């Protein structure tokens, strides 16, 4: 089971996107768990339930460098969700992006 976790400032719209990504994963019978959390929980989540991919919402794109500095060396791909895909709530496309990141990271 691969874990793709989305982090943003509050988590409202990101939760909607995570749900759409989970629906897409389920529709394709992929063993993937998608969840959304507030960015300030990243450290806690990383320690307790290490994700296979970290996606940052466009609202916290400014935290990308800091996130990479803290967790980039842990072998977990980190990316900012494309603002267009986020705005369209395109769960399928964001899921595909995350899967590519995980595969490229092996």
Q: Which two tokens stand for residue 94?
A: 């964001």
- The active-site residue out of 8, 32, 99, 102 is 8
| 66 C-beta neighbours (distance < 10 Å), count | 12
Instruction: Name beta bridge partners: 34.
Output: 4
Active site residue 53: no
Give per-residue burial for 19-32: e unless 16+ CB within 10 Å, then b. ebbbebbeeeeeeb
Active site residues: 8
């Amino acid at each position: 089971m691969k874990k793709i976790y989305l982090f943003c400032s509050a988590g409202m719209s990101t939760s909607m996107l995570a749900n759409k990504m989970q629906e897409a994963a389920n529709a394709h019978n992929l063993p993937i768990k998608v969840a959304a959390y507030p960015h300030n929980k990243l450290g806690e989540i990383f320690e307790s339930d290490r994700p296979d991919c970290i996606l940052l919402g466009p609202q916290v794109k400014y935290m990308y460098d800091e996130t990479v500095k803290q967790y980039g060396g842990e072998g977990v791909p980190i990316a900012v969700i494309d603002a267009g895909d986020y705005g369209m709530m395109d769960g399928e496309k964001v899921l595909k992006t995350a899967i590519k990141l995980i595969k490229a990271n092996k």
